[in-house]
Amino acid sequence: MNEHTKEILDAIMRAMEIEKETFDFYTRAEHKTFNPEGKRIFRWLARTEEQHYLKLNELYESLHEGGRWVFYGGSTISLDPAGPGEKQVSYDTDDLQALEIAMGIEKKGIAYFDALMEKTTDPDGKSMLKALRDEESEHLRVITEKFNAIKG
């Protein structure tokens, strides 16, 4: 295994750790909040982070065993619509702080995938990492939208 491949594998392993930590955070946030809108968003975020972790694990195994990138067409997990009568925004201070933390997490994820794309010369690898980065950007957009609605 050459040094570049080892560096990419190490970076993918770190990305997996980040996805796991993010999943854990969103799962805790979902269980902590009593607001249905908050639960819905944190559950969606956790599910997409879990999917990212699984895809990165598949990528790690494929690169390690055969030096091949895997295809990632994007997440198939959509954000469920708000339920009937569900308040669109009604977080308490702790939920607002959770959203602030979530924004920071997603920004770090975006930067991490950008850095990993720069190290990757394989076109399929760049495409996969871009899809993951774009999903983190969508997470940031949703979180920021909710955060701004709360802040007024």
Q: How many domains does the chain have?
A: 1
Confidence of residue 73 (pLDDT cuts 50, 70, 90): low
Q: Does 140 map to a domain?
A: yes
The pTM of the whole model exceeds 0.85: no
Q: What residues make up the domain containing 49?
A: 3-67+90-151
The domain that contains 35 carries what CATH number?
1.20.1260.10
Residue 73: alpha-carbon gap to chain centroid = 15
Residue 115 lies in a domain: yes
Q: What percent of the chain has pLDDT over 90?
A: 41
Query: For residue 81, is it within any domain?
Result: no
The model's confidence at residue 40, banded by pLDDT at 50, 70 and 90, is confident
Answer whether residue 57 shows pLDDT above 90.
yes
Residue 91 has pLDDT above 50, yes or no: no
Averaged confidence pLDDT in the chain: 83
Tens digit of each residue's pLDDT (9 = 90 or more) over 10-36: 999 999 999 999 999 999 989 888 778
Query: Is the residue at 122 inside a domain?
Result: yes
Residue 77: half-sphere exposure toward Cβ, Cα within 13 Å: 16
Instruction: Report yes or no on 85 lying in a domain.
Output: no
Q: Read off the DSSP letter of residue 88.
A: S
Write out pLDDT tens, residues 123-146. 888 888 999 999 999 999 999 998
Q: What local confidence, expressed as pLDDT, does residue 90 receive?
A: 38
Which residues lie closer than 8 Å to 90 by C-beta, 6 or more apart? 35, 37
